[in-house]
Structures are given as C-alpha cells and as structure tokens.
Amino acid sequence: MEVIIAKPDELARLAACAYEQLLRRRPDAVLGLATGSSPLAVYDELVRRHTDEGLSFAQARAFNLDEYVGLPAEHPQRYLNVIRHDFTDRVDFAPGAVQGPDGLADDLAAACTSYEDAIAAAGGVDLQIMGIGTDGHIAFNEPGSSLASSTRIKTLTEQTRADNARFFGGDVDKVPQHCLTQGLATVMRARHIVLVATGRSKADAIHQLVEGPVSAMWPGTILQHHPHVSVLVDTAAASRLQLADYFRSTYAAKPAWQGL
Ligand SMILES: N[C@@H]1[C@@H](O)[C@H](O)[C@@H](COP(=O)(O)O)O[C@@H]1O
C-alpha cells in the first residue's frame, strides 16, 4: 500500500497519470469507475487530457462499483447516469462500454451474478478508482460486510444515507435503502486500486484503512491484503495517520520514473 499525502490537484494528477499510462499501453483496458465526490477531480483531469492531449477511451470498457436499487432509469442520481454525467459522456467511450449493476432488475440476485460474470468475461478490472465512506465503506460494502463477498444486494446504513442525502436535495427519505454493490472480493480482484480521500470527515476511515486491524467493521481495511493499492489523501484526510511523516518523506524521495 502506497500512501501519498498531497494537495487535491496533485492527487488528481497522479491518479490521472496512472489511467493515462495504462491506456497508452493498453487502449482496450478495463477501467473500474466510482461515483461520489472523491474521484471528480480525477475525472476532470482525464477529460482535460482527452480534450487537449488526445487521450482516448474509445477501446476501453468500464464497470461501476455500485448502484441504488429502484431509482427510475432516468433519475439523475442513478449511478449509471451519474458516471455518464460526471465522466464517461465527456470523453469517447463507445456506446455500451460502460456498465453498472442493474438496480432495476426483476431478479436482483441474478443481476448480481451476471454482473460478476460480465467483469470476469472482460478479463477483470485493470485499474479501479474509488473513494471511501466516512464509516469506512468501499463501494457500498457497509460495516459488517463479508470480507469475501461478491456482488450482492446490501442495505445502506443510516450514516451513509445521511451522507448521501446531499445528492437528493438534502432529504434522507429520498435516498434508497438498498443498493447493489461489488463485493469486497470483487473489488480485491482489480489489479490496481487507487483510493482517493479528501477532507477531515475521512480521517478516521483513512487511519483505519491504512493503520487499523483488518476488520469487517472497517471494510476498506481488506485493501491491506491487496498487492497494489495507492491511497491518495490530502492533509485533512491524513490528519489521524500515525505514519504521516514517513509517508511524506517517502513521497519526497519517490523516484521521478516511478508511477503509482
Ligand atoms: N457508494 C459511494 C462510494 O463509492 C463512495 O466512495 C462513498 C464516498 O463518497 P464521497 O466521495 O462523495 O465522499 O460514498 C458513496 O456512498
């Protein structure tokens, strides 16, 4: 796990570089995408590179981490619509290249299985970007999630629904109670994971993720078992890290040729 503490624009540049290096090497790479506010600066930087420097996503495929259950197809907070708005419609993905779990399926369990199958058939995710919830959830794997879980239906915690109410006009009752989410084992199969967190509200979750014991109580801690994770945090999100000075000196000494 590499932890980098830097300003938000530097974090976005680092993550965008990882995507760019992958796509220049493998234009048909499989990208893991996430909603939420944390990756937005990364998406903006990727759009800039697409517009100004010709970075192309035309042969790439992408899989979202999660989806609310039951939001109408055209609802602006349906995560497939969110990712189109925030990122994929702003670049040149081919039609149908971006998928998410089907939160409108009649048979939700079957939709979860077929989503796992689709990721596997694509060859697995090469590079997964993600944020982290204030309660330590990744994707929508809430505290108590099985560390070996696959894509499935989950019930959101009141904390997560309250955190996400800002996307629903501040009305927590409009936030769905259920979601479909890649499981922790699904996430762990991505070959490289870049987790971005900014702000004081993420400090506890980041401390647990990096320095806590691996526990279903803080689902993100499973990433300690992954061989290639980049944790990109600003000073506020890093404020509870006991090893912050070490991470700062490591980054200051990072070889120029070494990407994430
Ligand atoms: N399902 C998403 C997660 O994928 C995201 O990482 C998290 C943090 O969101 P934000 O980045 O807006 O803080 O919340 C949501 O609930």
Q: How far is the CA of 36 from the centre of ligand 1 (A)?
A: 4
Q: If pLDDT is split at 50, 70 and 90, which confidence band does 68 have?
A: very high
- What is the bridge-based pairing of β-strands 127-130 and 61-64? unpaired
- Which range is least confidently modeled, 43-47, 159-163, 239-243? 159-163
Q: Is 28 a catalytic residue?
A: no
Active-site pick, 116, 137, 207, 234: 137
ipTM of the complex: 0.88
What are the residues whose beta carbons fall under 8 Å from the beta carbon of 78, sequence distance 6 or more? Answer: 67, 68, 71, 72, 103
Q: Quick check: CB of 132 below 6 Å from ligand 1? A: yes
Q: What is the pLDDT of residues 159-204, one digit of tens each?
A: 889 989 999 999 999 999 999 999 999 999 999 999 999 999 999 9
The structural domains of the chain, with segments of one domain joined by +, span 2-252
pLDDT for 77 equals 97
Q: How far is the CA of 140 from the centre of ligand 1 (A)?
A: 8
Calculate helix-pair angle for 8-25, 40-53, nearest 10 degrees: 50
Architecture of domain 2-252: 3-Layer(aba) Sandwich (3.40)
Q: Which of 83, 130, 132, 233 to mutate to test the pocket of ligand 1 (most atoms within 8 A of CB)?
A: 132
pLDDT for 135 equals 92
Q: What is the pLDDT of residues 3-42, one digit of tens each?
A: 999 999 999 999 999 999 999 999 999 999 999 999 999 9
Q: Is 225 a catalytic residue?
A: no
pLDDT for 51 equals 98
Q: Is 142 a catalytic residue?
A: yes
Mean pLDDT over 100-123 rounds to 98
Q: How far is the CA of 246 from the centre of ligand 1 (A)?
A: 27
**Which atom of ligand 1 is the closest one to the Cα of 34?**
4
Of 191, 183, 71, residue with least CA distance to 138: 183
